């Protein structure tokens, strides 16, 4: 299944409808002046109740942008025979959609029919990073919400099993550079992963090795104890890094110690350019924060929507 998904990912050509030429920092200045305050308050309140919210919102935004651009298609519910993106295999574990709903409800009360769900998600992802101790950046606004959402298209998402050439191809199809790839991968400093995303590295890795030889032995033993072949606990898994609610550069330090969780994390050492960037970000949190903010602005400007939804879960 993983091999098939990987292959399909490589043959799907992602077309960027627009690279955000219509976006601007002051898009809502006259029409919804309190937008950023309302979104920040909503994300802050939700994070106070549930510390997993920031990681969920950041992942949701990535998964939105990598399929049809940042058009909030990931928020749409399945309807009738159409299975939406949120029900595609890589998105089953997405959560905290209610945070976007709450922000939208508050914004509809203040400035009805004005702010797109895509813009709310882009702002919420930025706030999630900032509230976790990460960088803050100005989010260009003016995205429109898409009217199409298909679970089958989630095959376009980069998989945790990807090697470096597959990762580079996936990002370059979205006009994202090698530096964007390494910087945005640092989003893995937040959150939790189920065993299924890294099981390939700790059991039956290949014909020669049971365990991925690029995985540190003690770390592999720890992962095996969390994810045994039999009698695995329901929802078993591990945090992406030991400081999973803090946005920091620990992720890169762990990769250099052969303790990256996914194959796709460890793969960042498999080309000279990406390896050099991993070392740079491991040595300097400031360099990582600056690069991450720049790459997030670039990624979140891939847009392809058509409308401003009244309800983020369904088209108008």
Active site positions, annotated: 63
Q: Is 216 annotated as a binding residue?
A: no
Q: Is 101 annotated as a binding residue?
A: no
Give the CB-side neighbour count of residue 59, counting CA atoms within 13 A. 22
Write b or e for each residue in 285-297: b if 16 or more Cβ atoms lie within 10 A of its Cβ, otherwise e. bebbbebbbebbb
In a 10 Å sphere around its CB, with 0-12 CB exposed, 13-18 middle and 19+ buried, how is residue 144 labelled? buried
Whole-angstrom Cα distance, residue 265 to residue 281?
14
Report whether 139 contacts 126 (CB < 8 A): yes
Q: Is 248 annotated as a binding residue?
A: yes
DSSP for 73-101, please give it. GGGPPPBTTB--GGGSGGGTT---HHHHH
Q: Is 158 annotated as a binding residue?
A: yes
Q: Is 34 annotated as a binding residue?
A: no
Q: Is 69 annotated as a binding residue?
A: yes
Q: Is 191 annotated as a binding residue?
A: no
Q: Is 80 annotated as a binding residue?
A: no
Q: Is 85 annotated as a binding residue?
A: yes
Report whether 269 contacts 212 (CB < 8 A): no
Q: Is 64 annotated as a binding residue?
A: yes
How many other CB atoms are found less than 10 A from the CB of residue 60? Answer: 25
Binding residues for Ca(2+): 64, 67, 69, 71, 73, 85, 189, 241, 248
Binding residues for substrate: 158
Binding residues: 64, 67, 69, 71, 73, 85, 158, 188-189, 241, 248
Binding residues for heme b: 188
């Amino acid at each position: 299944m993983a091999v098939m998904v990987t292959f399909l990912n490589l043959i799907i050509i992602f077309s960027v409808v627009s690279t955000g030429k219509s976006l601007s920092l002051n898009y809502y200045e006259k029409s919804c002046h309190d937008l950023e305050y309302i979104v920040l308050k909503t994300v802050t309140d939700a994070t106070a109740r549930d510390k997993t919210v920031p990681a969920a919102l950041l992942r949701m935004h990535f998964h939105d942008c990598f399929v049809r651009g940042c058009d909030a298609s990931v928020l749409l519910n399945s309807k009738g025979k159409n299975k939406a993106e949120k029900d595609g295999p890589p998105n089953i574990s997405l959560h905290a959609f209610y945070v976007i709903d709450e922000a939208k409800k508050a914004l509809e009360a203040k400035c009805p029919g004005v702010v797109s769900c895509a813009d709310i998600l882009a702002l919420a992802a930025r706030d999630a990073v900032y509230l976790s101790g990460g960088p803050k950046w100005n989010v260009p606004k003016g995205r429109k919400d898409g009217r199409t959402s298909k679970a089958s298209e989630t095959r376009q998402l980069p998989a945790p099993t990807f090697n470096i050439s597959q990762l580079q191809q996936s990002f370059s199809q979205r006009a994202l550079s090698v530096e964007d790839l390494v910087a945005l991968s640092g989003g893995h400093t937040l959150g939790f992963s189920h065993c299924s995303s890294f099981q390939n590295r700790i059991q039956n890795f290949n014909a020669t090795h049971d365990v991925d030889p690029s995985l540190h032995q003690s770390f592999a033993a720890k992962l095996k104890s969390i994810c045994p072949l039999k009698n695995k606990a329901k929802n078993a898994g591990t945090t992406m890094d030991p400081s999973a609610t803090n946005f920091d550069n620990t992720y890169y330090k762990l990769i250099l110690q052969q303790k990256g969780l996914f194959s796709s994390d460890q793969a960042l050492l498999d080309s000279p350019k990406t390896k050099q960037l991993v070392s740079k970000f491991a040595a300097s949190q400031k360099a990582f924060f600056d690069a991450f903010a720049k790459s997030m602005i670039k990624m979140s400007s891939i847009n392809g929507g058509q409308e401003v939804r009244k309800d983020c879960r369904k088209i108008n």
